[in-house]
Amino acid sequence: MKAKHNHIVRPLTTWEHDKRYYMIQPLAEWDLSNYMARWETTSTISPDERCNVLKQLYGLATALREVHGDGAKVVGTHMDIKLENVLVFSTGGGPVTFKLTDFGCANIGQMDPRDIWSLGAMMLEILVWLIRGPKLDAFRTKRGEEFEVEGEKTQAVGAVEDDMFYYFGKDGKPHLKPVVIREINDLKVEVSTVPDPTLRKPLMVFLNVIEMMLKVPKDERPTAKDVCAKLKAI
């Protein structure tokens, strides 16, 4: 990776003591989960702040592209992308910056498409929050509830947030949960009525890209490089 990337937290220093490793990182104002919790309703977020959130999500995609490599040479895999592992930095009251951190679960020398899934799942939650505010809690709750598929009750698998997006069907294969599909489709309907085209277009592009990132078959997901290319167009 490059010595410095605007959306990756770099340690200020590292050291070893008694066979344990330590590091000091720059101090952030929030992690992304706490940043989102600052607003009781997202209706008070200004258009400029909304646009900056989308800009920062693109920045995180470029961070993952940096981690995965340019396609010719694989650098590694993060393996733990979630809201709590994105730090939010504020500089003098200006626009905030999102930075990917916590590479403790990273694999060096191989790229795993699970990173794309995790980033897509996290992005979807952020867009639900940005567009629908408090309804994010309801979306999370519904993902963990039992539901019927072909007359049989089933439930999402896993305890990790991005694992609650799929279930195993009668065929023994994983499938995207119906509630996730509905949420994306409902968001597209809401976004299509956004009067400001500078927000409407990028939000729709993000939703379309997230749909691709949440393809259950790993080989159907875009690479981080592909994701960046599609998002850069906005």
Token pair 């699970």 is found at 114
What are the structural domains of the chain? 13-232 (1.10.510.10)
Interatomic CA distance for residues 104 and 102, integer angstroms: 5
Q: Which two tokens stand for residue 199?
A: 């927000």
Q: Which helix (H) or strand (E) holds 8?
A: none
Chain centroid, CA 89 distance in Å: 17
With bands split at pLDDT 50, 70 and 90, how would you rate the model's confidence at 70?
A: low
| pLDDT tens-digit map of 137-192 | 999 999 988 666 665 556 555 544 556 899 888 888 889 999 999 999 999 999 99
Bridge partners, 89 (sequence order):
97
Residue 76: pLDDT over 90 = no
Those residues whose C-beta lies under 8 Å from the C-beta of residue 48, and which sit 6 or more positions away, are 95
Quick one: pLDDT at residue 3? 55
Averaged pLDDT for residues 196-211? 95
Angle at 9 between CA 82 and CA 91, to 5 degrees: 100
Q: Where are the alpha helices (DSSP H) in the chain?
A: 32-37, 47-68, 114-132, 135-143, 178-192, 197-213, 224-232
Please state whether the predicted TM-score (pTM) of the whole model is above 0.85. yes
With bands split at pLDDT 50, 70 and 90, how would you rate the model's confidence at 98?
A: very high
Quick one: pLDDT at residue 159? 44
| pLDDT tens-digit map of 103-123 | 777 777 777 899 999 999 999
The lowest-confidence range among 2-6, 66-70, 217-221 is 2-6
